[in-house]
Chains A and B, each alone.
Chain A
Amino acid sequence: MANNQARGAKVGVVANPAAGRDIRRLVAQASVFPIAEKRNMMTRAFSALGTTGVEEVLLMPDGSGLSDRIQRALKLPLPEGQTWPKISFIDFEPEDSPADTLRAVKRMVEQGVGAIIVLGGDGTNRLVARAAGNVPLVSLSTGTNNVFPVMREATIAGLAAGLVATGQVDVAEACYRNKLLRLEVNGTPSDLALVDLCISDELFVGSKALWRAEGLDQLFVSFAEADAIGLSSIAGLIRPVSRRAPFGLWFDLCAPVQAARVVTAPIAPGIVVDVGIEAVNSFALGEAVLVRLGRGVVALDGEREVEFSPADQVVVRLAEDGPLSIDIERTMMLAAQHGLFVRNTPVARGAGVRTAQGG
């Protein structure tokens, strides 16, 4: 394909080695995503990025073997017919913690990547969103509660990211802006969620994942799809809200036995349970809601992250300045409309084509 616009184009790839490893494999039947498959997804994306003319791919280092696997793959001859961009690891010593993702994305943005491919769940994307600024994301699902990222073939995701990064498809046409939920503790920005923010009366962050319906007290969603998995399904099955609608929702929750309305929702893989609904409220962009519980934890996109006590004032705000996402389907449709993958050859029409009659 034509790739003369591609000079110097870079794409970042963030693959969270820890995604899909949490306690939900024990308490439910959450999917297992082997590191070997994450590596394969990455190499398929490299091939696609090479096709679109991306010159360099920047990778996050990690201590869990994923980058080792990529390093080993780089020493082998490339699969026939593939051209990979130059593969570079961002140079820092990984801590094997979420801080690695923030650090890597920050460096990718500084080095001018035109897109970032994210392999992970909602939790991974939440971290990337904190540091990505206006760099568009292609988010592929390898986590547990995957609402924000999509389940797509990595080759196609790589093509879409490459088309946008090289300017062959216009960012403004290919991308959409996400909403997000900002968490403020005692007047200071604390963290964010892309899909759902839930308040629970659990005392501890513990093993992070939130899969019990007991003790859920309030739920805030930036969007809610009826076919979602995770806490946002509670909202999606009552009042679906699209990713692009200029509002979100928030709910007061209670035990099913005390509720006038009960929703049966898939709050985690394999866990479909009753949740009591006390009140449903529309959540306007810019609106701030004070959390009513005195002591508990805040779960961001399904993971307990912040413990708070009666001394803390916890506020949730719906914001419109979330990350940019590349719409894979729309990007590929635009590429097709512009004929980006089609070229004319000197071979005359019909010549060399077998027909049923001609043989």
Chain B
Amino acid sequence: MQLSKADLLKAYRMMKTIREFEERLHVEFATGEIPGFVHLYAGEEASATGFCMHLDGRDKIASTHRGHGHSIGKGCDVDAMMAEIYGKKSGLCGGKGGSMHIADLDKGMLGANGIVGGGPPLICGAGLAAKVLKTGGVAIAFVGDGAFNQGTTAESLNLASVWRLPCLFVVENNGYAEATSSKYSVSCDDFTDRAAAYSMPGIAVDGHDFFAVYEAAGEAIKRARSGGGPSLIEVKLNRYYGHFEGDAQTYRGVDEVKNIRATKDCLVLFRRRVEGAKLLDASELNKIDADVMAQIENAVKKAKAAPKPTAADLMTDVYVSY
């Protein structure tokens, strides 16, 4: 696995952007200014980044309720994302989608999804299109441990395998489907055990370690691009916040999140590795931190100041013609 200095800087910037975006939303949502619900991705940044670093314009992804990290990873505009979450006309979907339906088809981001398990069937379609049109593209469904138990996911795993589609099923297992522990609700003892039933390889990877995710993602994507078919990857990670903002999280241990933040922060672990090996200087990373802080501050300011959609916008974008 080789990563250039530019790759390392890009990966850090992507993770940091996701983190700051989410940390800021955590603060802003509490003010009551943001409509609807938000589900924050903080803590899981190495997963979206590890996969999306390998993707280009040919590739499609489908996301979950917790979709901001995947959107940033796939290149969605941060200002337009923030405006969308604020329900503003300048938002990525004209302010009509909000956090849970954020999408940018031009970027290959097929959407966060209000339906648990809604992404995998879309990804089978995107994978089939790539295969038929011979674009060399791959399609990735990010799902959670809750969606992993949904029928749509099971059907999609089967279909992707039968048609040998260039698809990846990435199960971001943060331990809880809303408030239900995956240890209770997932029938198999290990997520990857299910892969064999669909005749595809299944591997597990530490989602706190960018390098581990990046390498596994690269191999799975390479395999899919070259016609090798789908694979299942369980990314073991943790979320820093509740299922949604406002979740009291009574189902979690007293110091659970505190311990995770102290020992498994993917950004801290990344910095320690690249600084320790003298691949990057602290000053280079500090500069990214400062840039990202300013970028998010600016995005929030612009989103707050932006106009809302008007009554005349109500009947637009209802149907899409293909």
Contact = CB atoms under 8 A, between A and B. Distances in A.
Interface of A: 17-18, 21-23, 25-27, 32, 34-36, 39, 63-66, 68-69, 96, 202-208, 295, 307, 309, 311
Contacts of A96: 236
B215 A68 contact: no
Contact of B193 (A22, A36, A68): A36
Interface stretch (B18-26, B145-153, B203-211, B287-295): B203-211
B58 interface: no
A224 to B, nearest CB: 27
User: Which of A64, A65, A311 has its CB near the most chain B CB atoms (within 10 A)?
Assistant: A65
Interface in B203-259: 203-205, 209, 211-212, 214-216, 219-220, 223, 231, 236
A214 to B, nearest CB: 10
Given A32-B202, A206-B212, A206-B214, A26 B190 contact: no
Interface stretch (B88-96, B113-121, B271-279): B271-279
B189 A65 contact: yes
Interface residues of B, number: 32
A64 B189 contact: yes
Given A17-B190, A204-B211, A206-B1, A23 B196 contact: no
Contacts of A205: 209, 211-212
Contact of A36 (B189, B201, B205, B231): B189
Contact of B189 (A25, A69, A208): A69
A65 B219 contact: no
Given A21-B204, A68-B183, A207-B205, A202 B1 contact: yes
Describe A's contact surface by its main secondary structure: loop
B3 interface: yes
B171 to A, nearest CB: 13
Contacts of A39: 189
Contacts of A26: 201, 203, 216, 219-220, 223, 231
Given A22-B203, A203-B279, A66 B215 contact: no
Contacts of A204: 1, 3, 211, 215, 273
B203 A21 contact: yes
User: Which of B3, B203, B209, B276 has its CB near the most chain A CB atoms (within 10 A)?
Assistant: B203
Nearest to A22: B203
A18 B193 CA distance: 11
A65 B212 CA distance: 23
Contacts of B189: 17, 34-36, 39, 64-66, 68-69
B183 A23 contact: no
A307 B278 CA distance: 12
A23 B203 contact: yes
B181 to A, nearest CB: 10
Contacts of B276: 307, 309
B277 A309 contact: yes
A32 B279 contact: no
A34 B193 contact: yes
Contact of A21 (B190, B214, B215): B190
Contact of A25 (B203, B273, B279): B203
Contacts of B236: 96
A203 B277 contact: yes
A280 B205 CA distance: 36
Nearest to A308: B277
A203 B3 contact: yes
A269 to B, nearest CB: 12
B215 A64 contact: no
A274 to B, nearest CB: 21
Nearest to B202: A25
13 contacts: A21-B190, A22-B203, A22-B204, A23-B216, A25-B201, A25-B203, A32-B196, A35-B188, A204-B3, A205-B209, A205-B211, A207-B215, A309-B276
Closest 6 A/B residue pairs (Cβ): A35-B189, A65-B189, A206-B215, A21-B204, A204-B211, A207-B215
Contacts of B278: 309, 311
B158 interface: no
Contact of A208 (B183, B202, B212, B273): B212
Contacts of A35: 188-190, 193
Given A203-B277, A204-B3, A295-B277, 10 more contacts: A21-B190, A21-B203, A32-B192, A32-B202, A35-B190, A64-B189, A203-B1, A203-B2, A203-B3, A207-B205
Interface string B137-167: 0000000000000000000000000000000
Contacts of B188: 35, 65
Interface in B1-44: 1-3
Nearest to A28: B201
A21 B192 contact: yes
Contact of B204 (A18, A34, A63): A18
Given A21-B203, A23-B205, A207-B205, A307 B190 contact: no
A96 B208 CA distance: 13
